């Protein structure tokens, strides 16, 4: 089915793929993707651009028009917006399966790459370009490791992962950056210090409930700090706290912290770093004293996932057994091939955000040095969500680099 919106024609595709690509005759799942093209160019043989969404557990964008990065991409490409397995309109994952942890073992970047290659061949496409945002950049590195023959050029925004960084390595670097972002936020909005102290005091002395019935605890309140990693996150957090514990605040707090639309983000989050050892709830083990719930006024946390979330948050409770099993799992297969990446010949153009709260810039630049044929653009003009909020400017810059104009 094709839908026409301002400046873009959207066509739905559904592909049947193996749950386990190592066992193609076994259980099958469906993966959904949406093709986007300039309506005036629908009949042309355009190159494909595969968009790899951030996450894990994030569905592809739902366009309302040809604006932002998509509008720029449609000038030259036919774009495929992929709902990675388990997200959006792809076969859903529920927390009620006894074998869920074993199933989710097949939901990491290696399986997503295998899905993409199967889809590329079924579309009859030659090597395609990719745009990997955040976790989509991690997938890009796995793609370059496993199937570089399927790639023509790769664009990465805020997503060059450390090739051998463990979850512990990641969080040891992330916590200081989150604390720095939080302190900068308080310096910018000093009046919020008293607001936060007052809310923490209320949450410690009375039972405050969110609209879905979950209790708003201090530790759940702290997770609003995830907002600080986006371009306007500090402003949004400031206005969220402006009126205190009103019904409007509680509704928005629920929206920001419920994981109702993307539970896989929480369930799979630490396992995306695993190449061998168990994560053993890395973010919880490495929690600094400034973030501890019993600190006088604990600092806000970032995108870390903690075991308590699977007790406290309604949408995550069904996933608790699987999350615990994944955290204890060992023997994870490698996601990246350093030897093959060092010899890479596929051109890669990457935006590295100097102040990125989610993906460490130093690790990203180390990866750029270790992977062949990578050009980086290091910038502090944008935060982690730059490709989405820049009105297309980030992708324009990367494509200009690819064309030799920069």
Residue ranges making up the domain that contains 268: 167-328
For 348-370, letters b (16+ CB in 10 Å) and e give: bbbbbbebbbbbbbebbbbbbeb
Last residue in a domain, options 302, 328, 354: 328
Residues 146 and 174 in one domain: no
Contact (CB, 8 A) for 162 and 169: yes
β-strand partners of 130: 50, 154
Whether residue 271 sits in one domain with residue 123: no
What is the reported pLDDT for 377?
Answer: 98
Sign of torsion over alpha carbons 87, 92, 94, 97: negative
Which of 262, 294, 328 is the C-terminal boundary of a domain?
328
Is there a single domain that holds both residue 27 and residue 52? yes
8 Å CB contact between 327 and 279: yes
Instruction: State which residues of the chain have pLDDT below 50.
Output: none
Listed residues 303, 328, 353: the one ending a domain:
328
* Distances from the Cα of 38 to the Cα of 52, 64, 186, 236, 321, angstroms: 20, 13, 45, 34, 45
Q: 218 and 342: one domain?
A: no
The pLDDT assigned to 99 comes to: 87
Q: Are residues 148 and 28 in the same domain?
A: yes
**Whether residues 17 and 134 fall in one domain:** yes
CATH number, position 39 = 3.40.50.1820
Same domain, 152 and 286: no
Kindly state whether residues 84 and 128 are assigned to the same domain: yes
pLDDT reported for residue 1: 80
Number of domains the chain contains: 2
Same domain, 141 and 190: no
The verdict on 269 and 376 lying in the same domain is no
Q: What are phi and psi of 379, to 5 degrees?
A: -145, 145
**Do both 348 and 266 map to the same domain?**
no
* Whether 149 and 181 share a structural domain: no
Long-range contact set of residues 65-68: C-beta below 8 Å, sequence gap at least 24:
65/5, 65/6, 65/7, 65/8, 66/5, 66/6, 66/7, 66/8, 66/36, 66/38, 67/7, 67/391, 67/392, 68/388, 68/390, 68/391, 68/392
Residue 97: per-residue pLDDT: 75
């Amino acid at each position: 089915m094709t839908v026409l919106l301002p400046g873009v024609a959207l066509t739905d595709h559904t592909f049947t793929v193996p749950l386990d690509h190592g066992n193609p005759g076994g259980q099958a799942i469906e993966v959904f993707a949406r093709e986007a093209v300039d309506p005036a160019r629908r009949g042309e043989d355009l190159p494909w651009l595969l968009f790899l969404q951030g996450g894990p557990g994030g569905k592809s964008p739902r366009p309302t028009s040809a604006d932002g990065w998509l509008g720029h991409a449609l000038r030259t490409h036919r774009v495929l917006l992929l709902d990675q397995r388990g997200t959006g309109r792809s076969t859903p994952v529920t927390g009620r399966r006894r074998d869920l942890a074993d199933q989710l073992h097949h939901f990491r970047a290696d399986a997503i790459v295998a899905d993409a290659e199967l889809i590329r061949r079924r579309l009859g496409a030659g090597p395609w370009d990719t745009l990997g945002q955040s976790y989509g950049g991690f997938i890009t590195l796995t793609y370059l490791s496993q199937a570089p023959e399927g790639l023509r050029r790769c664009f990465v925004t805020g997503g060059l992962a450390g090739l051998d960084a463990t979850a512990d390595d990641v969080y040891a670097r992330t916590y200081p950056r989150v604390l720095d972002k939080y302190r900068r936020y308080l310096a910018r909005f000093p009046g919020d210090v008293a607001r936060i102290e007052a809310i923490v005091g209320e949450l410690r002395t009375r039972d405050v409930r969110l609209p879905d019935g979950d209790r708003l605890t201090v530790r759940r309140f702290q997770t609003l700090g995830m907002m600080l990693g986006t371009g306007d996150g500090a402003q949004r957090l400031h206005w969220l706290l402006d009126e205190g514990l009103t019904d409007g605040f509680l509704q928005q707090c629920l929206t920001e912290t419920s994981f109702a639309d993307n539970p896989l983000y929480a369930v799979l989050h630490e396992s995306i770093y695993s190449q061998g050892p168990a994560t053993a709830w890395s973010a919880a083990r490495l929690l600094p004293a400034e973030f501890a719930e019993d600190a006088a006024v604990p600092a806000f946390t970032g995108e870390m996932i903690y075991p308590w979330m699977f007790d406290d948050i309604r949408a995550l409770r069904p996933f608790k057994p699987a999350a615990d099993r994944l955290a204890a799992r060992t023997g994870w297969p490698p996601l990246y091939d350093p030897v093959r990446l060092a010899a890479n010949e596929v051109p890669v153009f990457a935006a590295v955000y100097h102040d990125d709260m989610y993906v460490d810039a130093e690790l990203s630049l180390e990866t750029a040095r270790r992977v062949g044929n990578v050009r980086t653009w290091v910038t502090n003009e944008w935060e982690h969500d730059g490709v989405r909020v820049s009105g297309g400017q980030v992708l324009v810059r990367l494509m200009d680099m690819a064309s030799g104009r920069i």
